[in-house]
Structure 1
Amino acid sequence: MPVLVPVGILRLPRGPDGHSRGFSPSSPRFQARLGGDAVAQGARARLRQRYLRGLAAARGRPTRFWLRAGVRVEAVFGAADVEGVAVQVDALRTPLGVQAAALLRCADVLAFSFLLD
């Protein structure tokens, strides 16, 4: 007889009315999901597309990162997550040595630039 594994249930927080769960129907984000402002939604879609194309073009490019505490490192740009939480890099050159692959937290990155080949 197989052992049953308990599965957690994710519950959204209660809405502002105290009964509903999820987004408030009056919130701009909820309205955007309903297509309330087609012009703004189109602008967001174009910006997102430009951002994703920029990330795709950056893949494999040598990059210099300026981090907090004045640390400067160089690496090969790999990928970035959509939420802007982390950047994946290869061949990260730090003052202490070279790491084959690493994740840089975006909160620690002050600036970055692509190096000429």
Structure 2
Amino acid sequence: MKTPVSVSRLPRGPDPNSRGFDPSSPRYIALCHTTGTDAVHVEEEQRLRTELRERFLRSLILMSNKEVYFSMYERVQVQAKFGASDIDILNFQVSDLQTPLGVQKEAILRCQDIISYSFDL
């Protein structure tokens, strides 16, 4: 018989259906910076974030199968043919990565190591 494993459960929310937290609770107020007058500011910020996210995702689509120049930390410049990104956009898959040490046929670049990237339309 296999050893049973305990399952950790998340705490229940304040409502009977456990679908969220009470907006008047101290935890919600501390984590949410919105007040009556800030609601317009938050809505505008959310709209701008949405627009920037959409632009970024469109740039990923345009980059596929193109030569992309990456500026990385320690003043390293590399060039590669962009392949794909993972769903969380934490890694880029590239081909023919040209580095100062040589060429890698296939590689994964961690996004946290990339400062900027550019490519020709």
Q: TM-score range by the shorter chain?
A: 0.5 to 0.7
- 1:48 deviates by 1.8
Measured in 2, the distance between the counterparts of 1:62 and 1:10 equals: 47
Measured in 2, the distance between the counterparts of 1:81 and 1:29 equals: 31
Contact 1:78–1:87, Cα closer than 8 Å, also in 2: yes
Q: Which residue of 2 is the match for residue 67 of structure 1?
A: 72
Q: Which residue of 2 is the match for residue 93 of structure 1?
A: 98
Measured in 2, the distance between the counterparts of 1:70 and 1:11 equals: 44
Measured in 1, the distance between the counterparts of 2:88 and 2:33 equals: 16
User: Taking structure 1 as the reference length, what is the TM-score of the superposition?
Assistant: 0.58
Cα distance change, pair 28–84 in 1 and its aligned pair in 2 (3 A): farther
Q: Which residue of 2 is the match for residue 41 of structure 1?
A: 46
Do structure 1's residue 57 and structure 2's residue 62 form an aligned pair? yes
AA matched with 2:53 = R
* Residue-by-residue CA offset, 1:75-105 (whole Å, 9 max, x unaligned): 0122345765433222212233322322222
* Residue-by-residue CA offset, 1:4-62 (whole Å, 9 max, x unaligned): 563653758xxxxxxxx98734434799xxx9854443333232222211111111110
Helix, strand or coil at the partner of 2:65: coil
User: Taking structure 2 as the reference length, what is the TM-score of the superposition?
Assistant: 0.56
Contact 1:65–1:72, Cα closer than 8 Å, also in 2: yes
Between the aligned residues of both structures, percent identity stands at 32
Do structure 1's residue 77 and structure 2's residue 76 form an aligned pair? no
Q: Which structure would you say has the larger Rg?
A: 2
AA matched with 1:27 = L
Q: Which residue of 1 is the match for residue 2 of structure 2?
A: 3
Structure 2 residue runs without a partner (length 5+): 12-19, 22-26
Measured in 2, the distance between the counterparts of 1:88 and 1:30 equals: 39
AA matched with 1:42 = R
Structure 1 residue runs without a partner (length 5+): 13-20
